[in-house]
Amino acid sequence: MKLSIGAMVEPGSTRTNKTGSWRTFKPIIDVEACIGCGTCSMFCPEGTIYKVADKYTIDYDYCKGCGICAHECPVKAIEMVMEEE
């Protein structure tokens, strides 16, 4: 591996590491039930739940499946389901 001067690296370059492969349970947002409050997005340790229009969507490339979003959702609109092969 070649070191750059000052060992500097590109900002935000951990994105090359797709942590979605860590996941055992997958959060699924029920868009009908979602009230768009943003609690899930605020608490996500990966910062990988985004607002699209008035609802929220999860980027499964990085979601580790911790389940904080489902646990904290005030209207229980997120369900954790077992990942399939």
Partner 1 sequence: MQEELFAPGHRGCAGCGAAIAARLILKGSGKDVIIVSPTGCLEVISSPYPESAWKVPWIHSLFENAAAVASGVEVALKSLGRKDEAKVIVIGGDGATIDIGIGALSGMLERGHDITYICYDNEAYMNTGIQRSSSTPYGASTTTSPAGKVSFGENRPKKNLPAIAAAHGIPYVATASIAYPKDVIKKVKKAISIEGPKYLQIHAPCCTGWGFDGSKTIEIGRLAVETALFPIYESTEGKVTSVKKVKRKPVEEYLKAQRRFSHLFKIEGGEEELKKIQDIADSNAKQFGLDQ
Residues of this chain that bind partner 1 (CB under 8 A): 1, 4, 7, 9-19, 22-23, 42-48, 50-51, 59, 61-62, 64-68, 70-72, 80
In whole angstroms, give the CA distance from residue 45 to residue 67.
Answer: 10
- Evaluate whether 40 touches 69 at the Cβ level (below 8 Å): yes
Other Cβ atoms less than 10 A from the Cβ of 55: the count is: 15
Write the single-letter amino acid at 55.
Answer: K
Residues in CB range of 85: below 8 A, 6 or more apart = none
Query: What's the token pair of residue 68?
Result: 């904080």
CB of 34: closest distance to partner 1 in angstroms?
16
Q: With respect to partner 1, which residue has the nearer C-beta, 14 or 33? A: 14
Q: With respect to partner 1, which residue has the nearer C-beta, 35 or 47? A: 47
Q: With respect to partner 1, which residue has the nearer C-beta, 17 or 84? A: 17
CB of 29: closest distance to partner 1 in angstroms?
15
CB of 74: closest distance to partner 1 in angstroms?
12
